[in-house]
Chains A and B, each alone.
Chain A
C-alpha cells in the first residue's frame, strides 16, 4: 500500500483523537528503528515525545518483539482466573521494584482504567466516597478517569460524577508567589490542601490522586516537601495517597518511579505506558500490603476481560528485563544531563522561554522563584 492510500484511509475512515477531523495530515510511517521513523518517501523523523510518552525503549526492541512472538506461540489469551506464567511473573517483578509497603497488582488495559480501578479500590477499602485530584492534571478521558482529570479535556464529561473535588497544583512558576525556599512553598501548598480536605469533610475523603510529576500539563515538578506533606495529610485523616505514575514511571525521571525522587511511599500506584512501551497495551494498579490483605476477605469488585493479558504481560516482563539489563537509568541520567544543558541554554537565549522544567533542573526552578 502506498503512503497516499494509507493517508486516504486514515482521513476517510478513522476518527482521530483530540482533533478537528478536517485538514488532518498524518504522516504515513513505513518503518521505524530506535528513536527514528521513516515515511514512504524516505523522509526521517525523530520521535522526541516517545510517541505519547510511552515508547521508552524506542522502536523495534528485539527482546520485546521476540517475547511477544514466543508467548503467541504458546497461547495468546487466558481469562484472569487462570494461572499464566507471564501474568504472575510480571506482577512479582513490579512488586520487587516497589517500596516495601506494596503488596499486589491488579492489571488493566491502560492508564485510564488503572486510575478508575484505583479509585474504586480506595473507595472499597476506606468505605468513603470523595476523591481529590488536581486542576492541572490528566488521568485519562473515559468517564471515570475523566472525572479525575482537571484540565480542559474534562469539560465534555461535565457536569460529571459527584464526589470528585479539584485542588490546585504546586505550580510555582505560574503562581509567582514570593517563596524564598522550596520548603516554604511546600508548606503553603500543603496547608491549603489540608484546609480544603477539612472543608470537604475529611472523614468522607477516600483518596488524593496526583500525577507524581504532572505530565502533559507542563511537567510541573513538586517542590521538595510537597509530596511528603500530602503523605502527612493522608496519614492524619486515613486517606489513600494514589500516585499516578502512568507517564512518569519506569525510568522517565531518572528513577524507576517518580515518587522515589521525594522519598514517599504511596498507598496505591497506577502505571501503564512504560511497562510495555506500547508493544502491547497494558496498565495496572499496585496496592499496599494493607489493601491487599483487606481483599483477602472482601470481594474485589473490579474486573476486565483483558486484565493481565498474557501477550501484554510477556511484553512487560521483557521490557522490565531490558531496563535492568541495559542499566537504562544510567542512560537517562547521562543523556538527561545533555538535555538539561540544552534546555538551560534555550532559556538564557530566547525571550519567549519563560521557564524550562525537567527534574534535573531542580536548581533552575529554585532560582526562578
Chain B
C-alpha cells in the first residue's frame, strides 16, 4: 500500500478518451476541479487528465476517509463534464 496515487479522468470508460487532450486544457476543466477541491480545503494538483493524491505519510485512516469524501463530491462535477464531452 502506498501514498502515491492518481485518479485518471476520462470522457468515456469504454473508449478511455482523456477528459482533456494531452498537454492541453482548453476549457479549464482540470483547473476547475482542483479549484473545487481547494474550496473544500483539499489541496492537491493535477497533471494532464489526472488528479494526484499523495498525502504526508503520517496521515491516519480517519483523516483519509474525511478527505476522500471531498473528492467523491467533486467527482460528480467531473462526471457531468464527461457526459457533456
* Chain A contacts for B10, CB-based, 8 A: 352-355
* Chain B contacts for A173, CB-based, 8 A: 8, 16
* Chain A contacts for B7, CB-based, 8 A: 343, 346, 353, 355-356
**A35 B59 Cβ-Cβ under 8 A:** yes
**B3 A218 Cβ-Cβ under 8 A:** no
CA distance A46 to B4 in the complex (A): 16
Closest Cβ–Cβ distance, residue A150 to chain B (whole Å): 12
Q: A173-B16, A253-B2, A360-B1 are in contact. Are A355 and B8 (CB under 8 A)?
A: yes
**A58 B8 Cβ-Cβ under 8 A:** no
Q: Any chain A CB within 8 A of the CB of B41?
A: yes
- The 8 A CB mask of B1-34 against A (1 = contact, 0 = none) is 1111111111101001001000100000000000
Q: Any chain B CB within 8 A of the CB of A304?
A: no
Q: Which of A202-210, A228-236, A282-290, A333-341 contacts B (4 or more CB under 8 A)?
A: A333-341
Which residues of B from 42 to 68 have beta carbons under 8 Å from A? 42-45, 47-48, 50, 52-61, 63-65, 67-68
Which residues of A from 302 to 361 have beta carbons under 8 Å from B? 326, 328, 331-340, 342-343, 345-346, 349-361
Chain A residue nearest in CB terms to B80: A352
Q: Any chain B CB within 8 A of the CB of A28?
A: no
**A217 B48 Cβ-Cβ under 8 A:** yes
* Chain A contacts for B19, CB-based, 8 A: 352
Q: A46-B43, A48-B42 are in contact. Are A350 and B55 (CB under 8 A)?
A: no
**B13 A354 Cβ-Cβ under 8 A:** yes
**A47 B43 Cβ-Cβ under 8 A:** yes
Q: A176-B16, A336-B3, A356-B8 are in contact. Are A346 and B52 (CB under 8 A)?
A: no
Q: A49-B52, A346-B72 are in contact. Are A359 and B60 (CB under 8 A)?
A: no
Interface secondary structure of A, over-half rule: mixed
Q: Residues of B within 8 Å of A, CB-based: how many?
A: 48
* Chain A contacts for B3, CB-based, 8 A: 50, 252, 332, 335-336, 339, 358
**A254 B79 Cβ-Cβ under 8 A:** no
Interface secondary structure of B, over-half rule: mixed
* Chain B contacts for A361, CB-based, 8 A: 5
* Chain B contacts for A156, CB-based, 8 A: none
| A336 partner, pick from B2, B45, B71, B78, beta carbons under 8 A | B2
Interface residues on A, range: 35 or more
* Chain B contacts for A50, CB-based, 8 A: 3, 54-57
CA distance A328 to B60 in the complex (A): 12
| B55 partner, pick from A35, A247, A253, A359, beta carbons under 8 A | A35
Interface centre among A340, A342, A346, A359 (most CB of B within 10 A): A342
CA distance A130 to B38 in the complex (A): 43
**B56 A35 Cβ-Cβ under 8 A:** yes
* Chain B contacts for A48, CB-based, 8 A: 42-44, 53-55, 67
* Chain A contacts for B71, CB-based, 8 A: 342, 346
**A252 B4 Cβ-Cβ under 8 A:** yes
- The 8 A-B pairs at the shortest CB distance, nearest first, are namely A336-B1, A358-B5, A354-B10, A360-B1, A338-B61, A342-B68, A352-B82, A219-B6
